[in-house]
Structure 1
Amino acid sequence: MKNFKSIQFIITTSFILITVASVFIVSFMLYNKFSSTAEKNADLNIQQVVEQVNYNLEIYVKNMTSIFEVAQDLIHKSPTVSNPILVEQLKSIMKTREDLISIALFTKQGDLVFNIPELPMRKNTRLERQSWFESAVERPDTLSFSPPHIQNLFKNSYKWAVSISRQAAYREGASFPEGVLVVDMNFKTIDELSKQVVFGKKGYIYIIDSFGNIVYHPQQQLIHAGLKYEDLERVLTYSFGSFQDDSNGESKLITIKTVDPIGWKVVGVAYKDEILTTKTELNTFIFWFLVIIILFVLLLSIVVSARISLPIQNLAKSVKSVGEGDFKVPITRNGIYEVDQLSSRFNMMLRQIRQLMDQIIVEQEAKRKSELDVLQAQINPHFLYNTLNSVIRLAERGETEEVVTAITSLSRFFRISLSKGKNIISVEEEIEHVRHYLIIQKIRYKRKFQYVIDIEDEVLEYVTMKLILQPLVENAIVHGIEMMPEEGMIRIYVGIVDDKLMFQISDNGLGMSPQVLQRILTRDSKSEDGSGVGVKNVHQRIQLYFGHAYGLQFESELEEGTTVRIWLPLVRQAKEGE
């Protein structure tokens, strides 16, 4: 019976049989079934588009070849190259095609015979060295297509062009000399054929000649500026086909087709993250299919495992409450066997923890009270003895006013020290206490030091722990000023800094070495004839009462003096009746 109620049995059978079988197998089979097919279909689509562009470009090249041959035939049949009829015919050809730039005929020596439109020829063009001219001279029967270049033969005409050239015979009197006929065409039609083809948002088509020169590229300016790179060397090794380019951190599918008969290559560039839309759609479909399956399985599992999860959740909440410090709420025992046993043991542990904590609290409270009482009761009788001796000497000398002042200050000093057994007094009372102490010490030490007390008005509404200023002032007098040959100065300032109450005691005494300063809060520094409440004790009292974020802070340099800051929380005085 216990085995059937165990967590292991119910969770294992529910999740292994339903979740693993339903989700894992179905998702794996669906993805492997269709992902490879989707990628192949995308590759085939790109190849078909590139082939279509290649086909259109071959037709365009054939048309341009036909135009060249028509122009060559008209020149050959014309009685003279200056015949007006020939000129009109060639101009008519130019008007019918917006992609034609010029038609020109040159001698083999590079002299201009005629050109349409009629523009003056530039000097120093080095015509004989241009690729289209050399190709026509070297291969007179072959129609040559030049790489893209700026046609700079004629004045006021500097256009990007592809030159079609071949040797052509023309009539000159009774003879038929051979010249070089060149037809320049721009990229208007090529651009229109190519820019309409896109693969996703980033894919494109570009065209290169057989030497790797770019004939057309939609990002031509970036290519020339060196901001974009195409792997032309690898493209030139292919007549047709495709390869994957992973340069520049992006995966691209490069598809190539060669244009007959000129040897240009049409190159399609498609980014794989965009062209595989079918695969993406398949991934989306599988994702949502799995979501639905998982939701169904989870719903079924919740119904089956409800009797397991609820007791465990209650136990988890109780453990969280214990972690946050609440040891009073017991766990209700219910659910499966393991949870019932765990709840029982946990309740037993809570009872023991509560008993131990109550015992520790009582002991710590007693210890803390005794420590505070001991620390605050350390008033050395030497201080009272020395003060009374000083009063006797004053009386013997007849200094009546100073006797009255000393006795009055001593009375008020002890009255504030006792303060009806209270540990916390107002800032004003603490300042009054240290003021009477300074009056007494000034009478004893006779013009040995002066003092200044500066207190901000806003701090008077706050309270402080009593007997924290006097031990520090005593320390400044005995260890800092008493051994000085000149008169000393003690400054006391009270204000609010960084949302904390700050008491600052500064003197211009002998100061302390770094070694002494480092040990100041780890040893007692009370004087033999002082009040007996040492610096260490003041620091301990503050931290015992307010916590380790508060206490004393020392700064000191030898022969320069010492500054002590006391940091306390801002606690307002309770109004009468509260």
Structure 2
Amino acid sequence: MRFWRTLFQPLGRFHYKKIQVMITLSFMFITIITVLLVSVMLYNKFSKSSEENTFLNMGQIIDQVNLNLEFYVSGMKDIFEVVEESIGNSSQLTGNQLESRLNTILNTREDLVSIALFTKSGELVLNTPSIGMRPNSRLPRQGWFEAAQEHPGLLQFSAPHIQNVFKSPYRWVVSMSKEISYLDHRIKKKGILAVDINFRTIDELSKRVSLGKKGYVYIIDGLGNIVYHPQQQLIYAGLKYENLEPVLNYSFGSYMDDSTGEERIITIKTVQPTGWKVVGVTYADEIMTTKKDINAFMLWFLLVMLGIVLIVSVFVSYRIAKPLRNLERSVKKVEDGDFATIIDVSGAYEVEQLSKRFNLMIRRIRELMDQIILEQEAKRKGELEVLQAQINPHFLYNTLNSVTRMAEMGRKEEVVTTITSLSKFFRISLSKGNNIISVQDELEHVRNYLIIQKIRFKNKFQYEIEAQDEALNCMTLKLILQPLVENAIHHGIEMMVDEGFIGIYSWIEDECLFIRVTDNGVGMSEEVLRGVLTGRSRQESGSGVGVRNVHERISLYYGTPYGLTFESELEEGTTVTVRLPIISKPEIHGNGGQP
């Protein structure tokens, strides 16, 4: 902080701009160099990791294929041993017991095609299922038959081939064969046992493997014959080439191959005990695609970092001069009449002191302005209270006049009713000095007023007062309905020939309290209606207070959203709607008021 204070003390506006540019450019230069070095290091690291992960993933996938094949071959080997044991332990090859057992074994697996036992000369001893041999099968020349004779006692796995020994549909199979001993009429003999496996299972195990978008897996035997290849038909047709010579030199491991014109990664695993080799092929251009993705990512990373650096550098340089800019903007706001602005006290010592003095000055100006506003509001309230007080003497004079005339005419009941209603009227008007009363009391107040006026005007009008129960419990500013009803009588109904009607209704809607006063009097013209709340259309006769006083009192106490709205048509009548907030006890709202 001391460094910045020392730095800013001698600077003017022009020097500040130069420093801001120097700070921004220096910060950006250092950061760009750092980001470039980090990007190069990350790219090399990611590229190397990508290649290593590719080799590792391929090795893991090929290992899994190898394990699956070894597990499958081990299961077939176990089945072969069960068949061999069943034949070796049987004293009678043509018995139903051995045939039933072999059928059971054959039916336990869908991929078992046939079980057959031959003499060493190629004559059929037994087979399951029991199907005749083809006449030109040349059994002794079958590869699996020759392999079993050449390796006595060892289980042999053939390459995939078409089964053409029996008179059954031609099937693509792998044959397991082995020279075994068996009893024929209690005479021990040597023969060749063959179990054919449907190649579909091996094909399905290999097809499940995915090595990228173009990679694949194929299987060869120890002599280089293809056991499985996803494009085997193309290879047989000479339309595809696989370089098998290097593969035969590896039992396991990986190497790069470009014999097909494309650089490929070859991964090899050997399946035990068959000696087959699982070969995985992955194309190097897919690894390059990963590198391209890394390149694109690093480019975007660099651009984003540059954007962030630019924003941060501009922000830092901006923050250095922020106190002076704040002071300048605050002075401009005060010049424009905004006295609510406050400056954050920060920056150099001189700026801090200036900001403090500026804030003190603005605070003192606001206090003086608030004092003036309060004085004006108090004055306005006094004026309104004086206007409100004028209601009572004027009304009392008119009512007592009416009572005197009724007494002279001997109308005692009407005199009693008028005096009683007048008493209740003034009791609610006083309300123990409270300006906030319940809606129920306000409606009772205007009811007594209507009783007096109805007697005074000799039943010239009828009235109706209705309110929701919820509305009766709400609080309202007192003496807001009596001026509205008085206005309806004097300016609406009094000049009518027919009988008049005044309706007063109260309800709660949209979280507001509404009170509506409606009459069927002579109504008002549009011009009079527009000026009724502004005082420009003041009537020549009446209470002298009018609806404008009521509207201003409501707005003063509760705020501008509340007050009166008018609807009127000539010869149709007038409706005045009072909108108030919902309150359950006397509270001060809006600009304030005396509760």
TM-score, structure 1 normalization = 0.49
Structure label with greater radius of gyration = 2
